[in-house]
Amino acid sequence: KVIGHLLTVFVCFVSVGSFAQKPDLFLLKTYQNGKEVTGWLMSEKLDGVRAYWDGHKLISRSGHVFNAPPWFTEGFPSFELDGELWTKRNDFENIVSIVRQQEPDERWSKIRYRVFEVPHQPGDLLSRLAVVKAYLKIGDRQMLAIDPEVVKHSYLDVLPQIEVESQEHLNDFLRDITD
């Protein structure tokens, strides 16, 4: 009976260590053809693994803490980010196999954290993204002054947001990323 209780305590301890509070993330809605979108922002929908940076660790939509190697998140900001762990198109299964490892390995070096939102920052989307862009520029300048061979944030970047000029522009963009 004592061993059963100890096992229960151990299982609870292990579970607490690998989960965080489930982040409250904004989820995009499906585009409905024919809707006027001129002036809206568009970006590629990446087929990676959604990850929320809470300022200390990467967390999945369901609250699972990713075991990213320390060198991957070195230089990430202390403020929150929302983005996608991504390598390239049509590589979802590989990305999942990398980020779900209990013991991270060198394959993380193939992944980039592509930021598409900066939660809890004031302003519209472009203003919020400007916060992380400014952070990256300052960090890169500081790191270059210390060691020109190494630039921090090599695994972190901002997913480009493009203003839609017309329905044709939107269709061309979609065609370009799906061909």
Catalytic residues: 45
Phi, psi of 28 (to 5 degrees): -70, 155
> Which residue intervals of 37-82 are DSSP H helices?
70-73
- The token pair at 162 is 């493009």
CB 132 within 8 A of CB 115: yes
Burial profile 110-146: b = 16 or more Cβ within 10 angstroms, e = fewer: ebbbbbbbbbebeeeeeebbebbeebbeebeeebeee
